[in-house]
Structure 1
Amino acid sequence: MSQISLASRQAAKPAAEIAVRTRDVSKNYGSVEALKKLSLDFPRGQLTSLLGPSGCGKTTLLKIIAGLIPPTSGEVEVNGKTVTGPGPDRAFVFQDFALLPWATVLRNVAFGLELRGVAQSEREDIAAKYIRDVGLAGFETSYPHQLSGGMRQRVGLARALSVDAEVLLMDEPFSAVDEQTRRKFQEDLLTLVANENKTFIFVTHSIEEAVYVSDQIAILLPRPSRVSEVIRPTGIREKGTENIRRDPEYLDTVDRIWASLRSYVE
């Protein structure tokens, strides 16, 4: 699909309010320059994917937005406030699940609320709701070692949702599951984006996945990373998810992104 066509579709809708803003963010690890003056806006209530070659700084940017590591220079704003560390307005969904092995599903999902001092009955009610929402009803008393990888990832997602953070940061959350489970996760994620009214920032290596789930795709250049271009597959989103992977616009967008990235793949 042409850049002009994408731009015209975007112009037909009013501009979304910005939830997260990065301005000239740079990050150095000693002599290694991971990010260089990276600026990007993340619209409220939408899902933005960060896509680029391995080692281009996607996870680094995600951790800076989360407040887990500081930028070397530049700044990040969430709801107009400068990020100086982790905060309740952001929640992180880790690639490796990061569950408490000694805690039940219910306790794991409620853990963030427990740390905030929410009363047990209230936090368990909230946790139970999100356990149902991610399709794990009936597994509340199970332990992580009793669950499949896909089920453990659903626990991590339910935990992030339960704390009611405005921004969900997802670091390749579906990379450790099989293809069938991954496709189901992608469909479920679109439902959550539509129903939760949260801002999702999603790191992935998969072009197909990014085009399928995203309102906005930011393509990052190899280290030191900057934003190469931002693509908004608006027409695809408007058609819904049924048969989307066979849709010509979807296929054209995947091919266009691959053409822009292939020279950076070794």
Structure 2
Amino acid sequence: MKQVVDNTLPESAVSTRNISKNYGDVEALKNLSLEFPRGQLTSLLGPSGCGKTTLLKIIAGLLEPTSGTVEVNGQTVKGPGPDRAFVFQDFALLPWATVLRNVAFGLEMRGVAKSEREAIAEKYIKEVGLAGFEQSYPHELSGGMRQRVGLARALSVDAEVLLMDEPFSAVDEQTRRKFQEDLLSLVQHENKTFIFVTHSIEEAVYVSDQIAILLPRPSRVHEIIRPSNFRSKGVDNIRRDPEYLDIVDEIWASLRTYVE
């Protein structure tokens, strides 16, 4: 597969070194090493069951690896920490809390004063396109709006690394495309490191600075791809760009033998 080599990558914000994870007799990950460049979005892409979410949870500190280490800013991960925030696939919102309270919840748990945390929450509620819904409750929102609340909550705690587990899988195609465009804008303006799990080849190529293709378990990195030429051509032109189309086709050719 064609691979773009870039020798001017920024330093890594996150490093996984020889990560293995066993569930009893099942070997989910095996000696998996991967660097996640600071300020960029890396997608984890591969067949179902290849360990993408397992790796994400190990980086988050929610799972302990059987062997190997994860480093964030050079510090070994020993559990969850304020340098990382998780955007869940199922929203994970507090049903009894307003949008404002949900978005501010992480700051509330850190003991941030109410006026300060609400001001921060309002900023990110506006940034994700939910201004005017601050006093709404999750059951009053569409699936797409609830996902925006989850994203705003992750952004509000100002973590350096955002871990996103298939965050757009539960919304319709039109909303998903809008989310993808918004995500590109966030990556550009937030100066955070995004680690993004997806099953969609097209989505991975569209949003990513780097794509790590994982093989079926025991999972390890098969290939790293860094799309380059179409990134500066604007969101409306990416899907028509020959490089985008070529990379989508090449990834599918690489993965199709692993799809049952």
TM-score, normalized by the shorter chain, greater than 0.5 = yes
Counterparts in 2 of 1:28-39, with a 5 A limit? 28-39=22-33
Give the counterpart of 1:259 among 233, 253, 259: 253
TM-superposed deviation, 1:158:
0.1
Q: Which runs of 5+ in 2 are unaligned?
A: none
Q: Give the match for residue 97 of structure 1.
A: 91
Q: How many Å apart are 1:118 and its aligned residue?
A: 0.1
Higher helix share: 1
The structure 1 segments of at least 4 consecutive aligned residues displaced by more than 6 Å after TM superposition are none
Question: What corresponds to 1:164 in structure 2?
Answer: 158
Deviation at 1:17, TM superposition (A): 1.0
Of 203, 207, 214, which residue of structure 1 is paired with 2:197?
203
Opposite residue 72 of structure 1, the aligned amino acid is T
Q: Distance in 1 between matches of 2:125 and 2:247?
A: 34
Where do 1:1-266 residues align within 5 Å? 2-3=2-3, 6-7=4-5, 10-11=6-7, 14-266=8-260
Contact 2:30 2:218 in 1 (8 A): yes
**Kept after mapping to 1: 8 A contact 2:212/2:223:** yes
Give structure 1 stretches of 5+ with no counterpart.
Answer: none
CA distances 1:30-88 after superposition (whole Å, capped 9, x unpaired): 00000000000000000000000000000000000000010000000000000000000
- Taking the aligned partners of 1:125 and 1:15, their CA distance within structure 2 comes to 35
Q: SS of the counterpart of 2:108?
A: helix
> For 1:117, what is the secondary structure of its paired residue?
coil
- Give, as a single letter, the amino acid of the residue that structure 2 aligns with 1:265: V
Q: What CA distance in whole angstroms lies between the structure 2 residues aligned with 1:122 and 1:51? A: 38
SS in 2 for 1:188: helix
Q: Output the CA distance in 2 between the equivalents of 1:15 and 1:50.
A: 18
Distance in 2 separating the partners of 1:260 and 1:24: 23
Q: Identity of counterpart residues, as a percentage?
A: 84
TM superposition shift of 1:246:
1.1
Aligned length: 260
How far does residue 240 in structure 1 lie from its aligned partner after superposition? 2.7
CA distance in 1, matches of 2:139, 2:68: 42
The alignment partner of 1:219 has SS state of strand
Q: 1:239: Cα distance to partner? A: 2.3
